[in-house]
Amino acid sequence: MPEEITTPMPPKRLPAKEQAAWKKKYVEAFRQAQADNPDNEPQQRQYALREANRMLKVPEPDSYADAMALPEHQLAVMQDEKGKSVPARYEKEGKLKVVTSDGKKYSFDVPEKGKDKTLKLSQA
């Protein structure tokens, strides 16, 4: 019977489904590391954590539509004017401003109604 693997807590910002996938990836990577390095538990844990955390990579949005499609757990959290924590995606002066959870900032023109929502703009 395979031994029980103790997994660290996944990032709290992830939804429950993503947390379960993160834990599954950690266990898979840990078992692979055990096979590759059977006598080095610290290295096994380091490898498993690195592999599980690859799931946290945020795809770079190339357009307004891409930025709007990012799930909330891939956005940084900011305080609104009432002090409430909200995802860092907002419109200001005709621009969509987005800050992803990895700290990158993006700005896209807000398309006019009825126009193409795939307008491209470089990273802010």
Question: What pLDDT shows up at residue 85?
Answer: 82
- For 97-102, the CB contacts below 8 A with 24+ separation are 97/124, 98/61, 98/67, 98/70, 99/75, 100/58, 100/70, 100/74, 100/75, 100/76, 101/13, 101/56, 101/58, 101/73, 101/74, 101/75, 101/76, 102/56, 102/57, 102/58
For residue 11, what are the CA distances in angstroms to 1, 8, 49?
29, 9, 11
Question: What pLDDT shows up at residue 122?
Answer: 44
Domains of the chain by residue range:
16-56, 58-124
d(CA 53, CA 119): 31
Local confidence pLDDT in tens for the 124 residues of the chain? 457 889 999 999 899 999 999 999 999 999 999 999 999 999 999 999 999 999 999 999 999 999 999 999 999 988 878 888 888 898 888 999 999 999 999 999 999 875 544 444 444 4
Question: What pLDDT shows up at residue 45?
Answer: 95
